[in-house]
Amino acid sequence: MRIEKVVAIIPPAGGSSFTGQSIPPLGIIRILNYVKKFFQHIEVELWDGVLMSMPLILEKVKTLQKGTLVAISAHTSYNYKNCLAVLGAIPEGVKVVLGGLHLYETHLGQIAIEKQNFHAIQGPGEFALPQYIEYLEGKRKIFEVKNLMYLQDGIFTTNEAEYFSQEEFTFPEYENLVNLEEYGKHYREIFGESDLALVVMSPEGCLWKKKSKGCLFCDIGSAYRSHSPLFLPKWITHHIEKYGDKKRITFWDYADEVSGAGFEWWEEVERNMKNLNLRPGKDFALKVYVKSGCGFFDNDKIASVLSHCGTEIIHLGVEGGDNQTLASWHKGCTVDDYVKSADIAGRHGLKMIISFAIGAPGTTKQSIANIYNLIARMKEKANIIAIAALTVAPIPGSLMCGMIEKRIKENHSKRYDDLFRTDDPDLEEIRQIWIKEMCPDLVKESGSLTRTMEWLRNEAEAICKLSSSKIISRIE
């Protein structure tokens, strides 16, 4: 079979996010770049769920014809239900493969493979997807496709894995795949400090997860790689040269623990920026996402050098408002650590985005009140421009899922799956069972599970409104 067209789809997640419609995706863009590199005759398209509604995506999927390969990305664990919906709408004769950051940890790939006999790519797809196209066209055996998962004679099979550092790939090229003007328009409306935002990565993975299995609710992999201190400045230079004409760009750097790479590493980044004649703060800014772990943003040296590198925004995954909740989430830090981070950010003129995961084991109404108290303490120290809040759900395959499966067996002598109304539960049903079993005191305080879930939704939205910009980001 000859593949004439590849359509990459990132199904939307529920709720709203401050990044929605404002930041083009990174991974799937680069994968499509590699498809064009190896197969110049193949037409490629990207359907991004932050710009396209789920009904529109499903309507367009139904029009696809033979010779098309659909690549579905589990870009976030909260879009896995919609990933399955797209799978169910694929017309006969159209080929499909799954991939994405959250594919393996959430067992989405295994669900799709075992129930619907689809194929999935686990890990980097830049070389794996072209190999898969060669397999579909009869030029390669299925066992030769690296990182592929599939059923063979009824047995779940995973091919040899092949991983690459970001430094081994070419920089992503966005033209002809996304409308940067549209993303930039939304970004200006939401944040205002730049004309466009693009994703970069100074390390890969999560150092905290590698050290300690990470936060309880997290479902990303534990691999961690720190890049050369020249890589980030080169990446920024490339994008400024291609997309920075009369535009100021903010680069969203998913940097994990800022001090994980070390203060000296960031100093070297600063020197390399100067050698490449970059002008931090003028041509570009950095927004640094610091995920978790002790010592993530705890000294003036780190803040100073980040500021010199153009950092204007620090994003902290705070997740809880008291030490008991932080311990339940396995955060490895205290509320005083976060207040200290806000103090450092404020003194160095760095704005902040903070996010919270609601529904830690043992959560009560006082736990939510503690979030308000911590936000008030942090706002006294720094300008908090956005707050994100979500009520968690134990996606299949996550650490949370394992915890609730154990609790259900102990308390009810049942299987976790037996509690669902259907074989394919939606996120709200998964979330309800988690809150009922893991936060029983909260349900008791509210009077019923229905009232509890409504109260949590209202509180999450109220928490988001506490930021200085009133940006709402409540993911469902």
Asked if 154 and 196 sit in the same domain, the reply is: no
Residue 397, domain member (yes or no): no
Choose the final residue of a domain: 367, 390, 413. Answer: 390
The CA distance from 441 to 444, in Å, is 5
Asked if 64 and 110 sit in the same domain, the reply is: yes
Asked if 195 and 151 sit in the same domain, the reply is: no
For residue 280, the 8-state DSSP code is B
pLDDT in tens, 232-288: 999 999 999 999 887 899 999 877 655 555 788 889 999 999 999 999 999 899 998
pLDDT in tens, 223-243: 677 788 999 999 999 999 999
What is the domain extent for residue 356? 191-390
Residue 185, domain member (yes or no): no
The CA distance from 24 to 49, in Å, is 11
Asked if 19 and 154 sit in the same domain, the reply is: yes
Helix (H, G, I), strand (E, B) or coil at 165: coil
**What is the number of domains present in the chain?**
2
Tokens of 178: 């996304």
Residue 407, domain member (yes or no): no
Asked if 146 and 273 sit in the same domain, the reply is: no
pLDDT in tens, 405-463: 888 888 777 776 666 666 666 778 888 989 999 999 999 999 999 999 999 999 998 99
Residue 473, domain member (yes or no): no
Are 221 and 265 in contact, with CB atoms under 8 Å apart? no
Residue 113, domain member (yes or no): yes
Give the CATH number of the domain where residue 124 resides: 3.40.50.2300
The CA distance from 157 to 143, in Å, is 9
Residue 39, domain member (yes or no): yes
Are 185 and 23 in contact, with CB atoms under 8 Å apart? no
What's the average model confidence in pLDDT over 379-402? 84
pTM: 0.88
Asked if 217 and 136 sit in the same domain, the reply is: no
Check pLDDT > 90 for residue 373.
yes
Asked if 199 and 151 sit in the same domain, the reply is: no
Residue 409, domain member (yes or no): no
Residue 26, domain member (yes or no): yes
Asked if 333 and 385 sit in the same domain, the reply is: yes
Choose the final residue of a domain: 350, 366, 390. Answer: 390
Which region among 97-106, 138-147, 148-157, 424-433 has the lowest average model confidence (pLDDT)? 97-106
Check pLDDT > 50 for residue 476.
no
pLDDT in tens, 442-452: 999 999 999 99
Asked if 222 and 304 sit in the same domain, the reply is: yes
Choose the final residue of a domain: 111, 136, 158. Answer: 158
The CA distance from 269 to 287, in Å, is 15
Q: Residue 91's closest CA among 112, 117, 65, 69? A: 65
- Cβ of 184: how many Cβ atoms within 10 Å? 21
Asked if 136 and 285 sit in the same domain, the reply is: no
